[in-house]
Amino acid sequence: DARVTQTPRHKVTEMGQEVTMRCQPILGHNTVFWYRQTMMQGLELLAYFRNRAPLDDSGMPKDRFSAEMPDATLATLKIQPSEPRDSAVYFCASGRPNRGLDEKLFFGSGTQLSVL
């Protein structure tokens, strides 16, 4: 049963530390998204890639966040330095959109990040 795999599931760190979250998209999916869920903003888009190329990272604080896809099986989201306001659940999602036919995304279980 194909699924998006995210690691770690939980991360507790101190302010100022670097945090790296990893995502393995479903094999064959060419589009990968990073979303952040907070109580106030719901699911907000941070960045997304098509065929490993970044398409939009306008939702991401550029000074501390970075997203990459070193290969088709791995996407990473880094925060350096982390701050308490970064505490949230971070979701990775993948898909293979075909306009109007199948634009749904499959989500991982998320990384629960707590920055103290």
Partner 1 sequence: DQQVKQNSPSLSVQEGRISILNCDYTNSMFDYFLWYKKYPAEGPTFLISISSIKDKNEDGRFTVFLNKSAKHLSLHIVPSQPGDSAVYFCAASGWSSNYKLTFGKGTLLTVNP
Pick from 54, 68, 74, 106: which binds partner 1 (CB under 8 A)? 106
Contact 23, 88 (CB under 8 A): no
- Asked if residue 3 lies in contact with residue 25, where contact means CB atoms within 8 angstroms, the answer is no
31 contacts partner 1 (rule: CB under 8 A): yes
Question: Among candidates 62, 70, 76, which has minimal Cα distance to 20?
Answer: 76
Q: From the CB of residue 97, how many other CB atoms can be counted at a distance below 10 Å?
A: 14
Query: CB 44 → partner 1: shortest distance, Å?
Result: 8
66-85 binders of partner 1 (CB under 8 A) = none
- What is the binding site for partner 1 (CB under 8 A)? 4, 31, 33, 35, 41-45, 48, 50, 55-56, 91, 93, 95, 97, 99-100, 103-110
